[in-house]
C-alpha cells in the first residue's frame, strides 16, 4: 500500500516537474522534434499493420456473428465505432507503449547506470528538462496523430472485408461509417490517446531515471515498464470510457 502511494507521489512530482520545464524559459524544440521522430514517426508502420488487420478481423467476426440475426449489413457500422472509440487508441497505445516505452527506459536506464544523468546535473543542466519533458511532450502530441492513422486504416480494413464477405458496396460502407461516427466518438478516442501518450512517456522515464545497478537492472526495469504501461492503459481505458460516457453518452 505504501509502495502504491510512493508510486503515485513520484509520478505526480515528475509530471509536475516536466510540466513546469515546458512552460519555463526558452524551449529547445530540437529535443522535442527528435523525440517526435523517435517515438512517434518511427511507430507509424507498426500502427498501420496492427490497425488494418484488427479492422479486417473484426469485420470478419461481426459479419459471421450478425448473420443469424440478418444484421450483417451493419458490420461496417460496428467495426468503425469499435475502432474509433476503443481499439484504435487502445491497440495503438499498447503497441507504441511496448515499443517506445521499453526504448525510453533502456536509454535513460543506461544513462543512469553510466552516470550520464548525474553528469547532466553537474554540468549545470536539468535532466527533467533535457530528458523527461521532451519525451512526455512528444508522446502526448504524437499519440493522437497515430490514433487517427489507426482509425483510418482500421476502418479501411474493416470496410474492405465487409464489402467482400457481406457483399456490400464501397459507397454503402463509407456512408454507414460516416453516419455512425460522430465528432464525439472521434474526440472520445483522441482524448484517451492523449492520456495514453503521457502515460507511456512518464512511466518509461520514471523507470529509466530511477535505475540503479547495472545491465540486469536495466533489463528488469524495461520489462516492468511494459507491464506498468500496458496495465495502466487497460485500466485507464475503462475509467476514461466511463467518464466520457457519463459526460456525453
Partner 1 sequence: MSETIISYRNVTKSFGSNRIYRDITLDIHKGETLCIIGGSGTGKSVMMKMLVGLLEPDAGDIEFFGQSIVGLKPHQWLDIRRRVAMLFQGGALFDSLTVGENIQYPMIEHKWGDKSKREKRVSEVLEMVGLGKIEDLYPAEISGGMKKRVALARAIAVEPEVLLYDEPTTGLDPISIRRINGLIRNLQERLNVTSMVVTHEMPSVFTIADRIAMLHDQHIAFVGTPEEAKAIKEPWLADFIIGGEGVLKEENG
- Which residues of the shown chain bind partner 1 in the complex (CB under 8 A)? 110-111, 114-116, 118-119, 121-126
User: What's the closest the beta carbon of residue 115 comes to partner 1, in angstroms?
Assistant: 4
User: What's the closest the beta carbon of residue 152 comes to partner 1, in angstroms?
Assistant: 34
User: What's the closest the beta carbon of residue 240 comes to partner 1, in angstroms?
Assistant: 34
User: What's the closest the beta carbon of residue 121 comes to partner 1, in angstroms?
Assistant: 6
Nearer to partner 1, 117 or 202 (CB): 117
Nearer to partner 1, 81 or 130 (CB): 130
Q: Which long-range contacts (CB under 8 A, 24 or more apart) does 45-48 make?
A: 46/95, 46/96, 46/99, 47/92, 47/95, 47/96, 47/146, 47/149, 47/150, 47/153, 48/149, 48/150, 48/153
Nearer to partner 1, 12 or 114 (CB): 114
User: What's the closest the beta carbon of residue 37 comes to partner 1, in angstroms?
Assistant: 13
Nearer to partner 1, 128 or 155 (CB): 128
Nearer to partner 1, 121 or 175 (CB): 121
Nearer to partner 1, 2 or 123 (CB): 123
User: What's the closest the beta carbon of residue 126 comes to partner 1, in angstroms?
Assistant: 7
Amino acid at each position: 500500500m505504501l509502495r502504491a502511494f510512493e508510486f503515485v507521489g513520484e509520478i505526480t512530482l515528475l509530471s509536475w516537474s516536466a510540466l513546469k520545464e515546458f512552460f519555463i524559459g526558452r524551449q529547445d524544440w530540437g529535443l522535442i522534434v527528435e523525440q517526435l521522430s523517435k517515438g512517434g514517426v518511427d511507430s507509424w508502420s507498426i500502427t498501420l499493420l496492427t490497425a488494418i488487420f484488427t479492422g479486417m478481423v473484426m469485420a470478419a467476426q461481426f459479419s459471421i456473428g450478425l448473420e443469424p440475426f440478418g444484421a450483417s449489413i451493419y458490420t461496417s457500422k460496428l467495426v468503425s465505432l469499435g475502432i474509433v472509440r476503443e481499439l484504435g487508441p487502445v491497440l495503438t497505445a499498447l503497441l507504441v507503449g511496448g515499443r517506445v516505452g521499453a526504448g525510453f527506459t533502456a536509454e535513460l536506464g543506461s544513462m543512469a547506470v553510466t552516470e550520464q544523468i548525474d553528469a547532466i546535473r553537474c554540468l549545470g543542466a536539468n535532466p527533467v528538462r533535457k530528458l523527461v519533458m521532451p519525451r512526455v511532450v512528444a508522446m502526448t502530441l504524437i499519440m493522437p496523430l497515430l490514433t487517427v492513422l489507426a482509425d483510418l486504416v482500421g476502418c479501411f480494413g474493416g470496410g474492405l472485408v465487409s464489402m467482400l464477405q457481406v457483399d456490400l458496396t464501397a459507397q454503402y460502407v463509407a456512408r454507414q461509417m460516416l453516419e455512425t461516427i460522430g465528432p464525439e466518438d472521434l474526440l472520445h478516442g483522441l482524448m484517451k490517446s492523449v492520456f495514453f501518450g503521457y502515460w507511456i512517456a512518464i512511466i518509461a522515464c520514471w523507470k529509466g531515471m530511477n535505475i540503479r545497478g547495472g545491465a540486469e537492472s536495466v533489463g528488469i526495469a524495461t520489462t516492468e515498464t511494459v507491464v506498468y504501461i500496458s496495465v495502466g492503459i487497460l485500466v485507464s481505458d475503462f475509467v476514461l470510457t466511463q467518464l466520457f460516457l457519463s459526460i456525453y453518452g
